[in-house]
Amino acid sequence: MNIKKFLNEASILIVWLILVGIFSLLSPNFFQTTNAVVLLLNGAIIALITLSQSFVLLTGGIDLSTGAVISMTGIVAAVFMRSGAPWYVAAIGASLLGVFAGVLNGLVIHYAGIPPFIVTFAAMGVASAIPMIITRAESIKIADPGFLWVGQGKILSIPVPIILVVICAILSTILLKSTIIGTHIYALGGNRLAARLSGVNIMRTTIFVYGLSGLFAGMAGVVATSRLGVAYPQTGTGNQLFYSIAAAVVGGVSLFGGIGKIRGAMSGALLIATISNGMNVVNISSYWQPLVIGLIILAGVGFDSARTLTRNKSKKSRSAIITTKIKGLVGRASTREGKK
């Protein structure tokens, strides 16, 4: 790894350490163990939706329905249990509902040719309405200890949501780095036309990433509902969408596709979770959080645009050099032929 790449990846850690120092000075409660646990548990949900968003962004798309899917899957899990289903059936069923929503997004995007922004924006409206229709805007209390263990339990003193995020992040890293579908995801985001000409199955890759996005959002819905112990029809309709995009972009996942790593996305999720938690601890109004996250997204997009522009200029200059060399070789060959 060269120095430039190292500094880019270490910059998030440096900013995070600075933020931890600032919040610790502003409030002694921030550096307490209990608050650290709360930060990591909230960060686990942010990390799951960041994984959800990252896969889609890597292909050059976007998923605006992430937060709404959290609400929908949480309510559906509660309804399953209220109907007598075992907690694990409710959790798996809710997660699979997220997959179904994502696959449906992918199918419409590919076959109808509608931009991802429009399709997932419409899906956000549908997924937000379903919980309200089912519950009539009322919450559902959850008493099943098995389901509550998913968001509140521990394994060897480590909270279950954190273990779940670590497993998902490792598997996602392996998928992107060591599988054919991972290569296709990067190829699709890097250059769609070139990917198609190279034999990449555009339809399968698109449906796969949106289905995976729905899976992670569904899992986030299950974890969030389990942590609260109550299924609220508006659980994921707050800042979750902002968080997922901001964390991915800050972590180095390009909004233009083709660039980004899971490691960076998880670092971005930790940073956003720290900002959100720190603002709550120092009693900054929650109304300010969307403003701060919005500015972070704007700064991240600005940096990403500058990076993309620089990379394109570099490619053009290399292409010009290669073209000049080829012309020179052709010219010399023509001169030799003329002499003969």
Tokens of 340: 């003969």
Please tell me the predicted confidence (pLDDT) of residue 49. Answer: 94
Domain for residue 339, yes or no? no
Q: What is the CA radius of gyration of the chain?
A: 23
Name the residue range of residue 244's domain.
3-283
**Lowest mean per-residue pLDDT among 130-139, 259-268, 277-286:** 277-286
The DSSP code sequence of 292-328 is HHHHHHHHHHHHHHHHHHHHHHHHHHHHHHHHHHHHH
- Residue 11: pLDDT band with limits 50, 70, 90: confident
Percent of residues, the chain, with pLDDT higher than 90: 47
Q: Please, are residues 216 and 52 in contact by the beta-carbon 8 Å criterion?
A: yes
Given a cut of 60, whether residue 51 has pLDDT beyond it is: yes
Domain for residue 340, yes or no? no
Domain for residue 144, yes or no? yes
Domain for residue 13, yes or no? yes
Given a cut of 90, whether residue 294 has pLDDT beyond it is: no
Give SS3 for 283.
coil
Please tell me the predicted confidence (pLDDT) of residue 6. Answer: 59
Instruction: Please tell me the distance from the alpha carbon of residue 63 to that of residue 117, in angstroms, as a whole number.
Output: 7
Please tell me the predicted confidence (pLDDT) of residue 340. Answer: 53
Determine how β-strand 154-155 pairs with β-strand 230-231.
Answer: unpaired
Domain for residue 37, yes or no? yes
Domains identified in the chain, total number: 1
Given a cut of 50, whether residue 319 has pLDDT beyond it is: no
- Taking only the tens place, the pLDDT of each residue in 101-137 is 999 999 999 999 999 999 999 999 999 999 999 988 8
CATH code, domain carrying 209: 1.10.3470
Please tell me the predicted confidence (pLDDT) of residue 323. Answer: 47
Domain for residue 54, yes or no? yes
- Taking only the tens place, the pLDDT of each residue in 211-251 is 999 999 999 999 999 998 898 888 877 788 888 998 898 88
